[in-house]
Amino acid sequence: MIFLFIRFWNYGIFTSLTRTFENMHNQKQFFNCRSELRAVLSKGRYTTLALTDGNDSYILTLSYGLDEDEDILYFHCSTEGTKIDFFKSNPYLCGTVIQDDGYQHGKCNHYYHSVVYYGLLEVIHKTDEKMKALRCMFAQLEDNPEQWTKPYEAKPEALSDVLIMKLSIDEMNGKRNPG
């Protein structure tokens, strides 16, 4: 499904995910309840992003931090490379987070929850916003997030060389097979 959206983007058409999910064969699997979507995002540790520059497509997986109050995902990445070139060319992207609830041996079935989202990606420049993003990322990924934020709180100028990107989610929907 992500491949189809990338192909649409290549032709300059932004297709609504909701319309695609409305045509889903098994409507019982569709969900769009904000709290349930956020629950999947808050349990996740990584997301897969689909990018296009108008000619080529690129997919990558990154760890992230979620700001549940604002439906924002934060990413930390290098300042150079293929993904940066794609981000600069087209900051609108599609991504997915999958909660794997396990394959059911002997039943030929797989339990899962997944969220597909769209949004605009931008670089964060302000130190206070970078600190907020780091807090979200460490809270998402670490058992003791304070241990990792303290060095940056003590020396905020260390954030000047850190590239953090912010993805504001415009639209998201989910699919599930909870068992």
Tens-binned pLDDT, residue by residue, of the chain (179 aa) = 344 444 344 444 444 444 455 565 666 778 888 999 999 999 999 999 999 998 899 999 999 999 989 999 999 988 888 989 999 999 999 999 999 888 888 888 888 889 999 999 999 999 999 999 999 999 999 898 888 888 878 887 878 888 999 999 999 999 988 87
What is the reported pTM?
0.80
Among 117, 111, 116, 105, which Cα is nearest to 176's? 111
Q: What phi and psi, each to the nearest 5 degrees, are found at residue 56? A: -115, 160
51 and 90 Cβ atoms separated by less than 8 Å: yes
111 and 178 Cβ atoms separated by less than 8 Å: yes
pLDDT score at 33:
86
**Half-sphere exposure (Cβ direction) of 114: Cα atoms closer than 13 Å:** 17
pLDDT score at 155:
83
DSSP 79: S
pLDDT score at 1:
39
Q: Domain tally for the chain? A: 1
pLDDT score at 19:
46
How far, in Å, CA of 12 to CA of 138, rounded? 36
CATH of the domain at 95: 2.30.110.10
Domain of 65 in residue numbering reads as 2-177
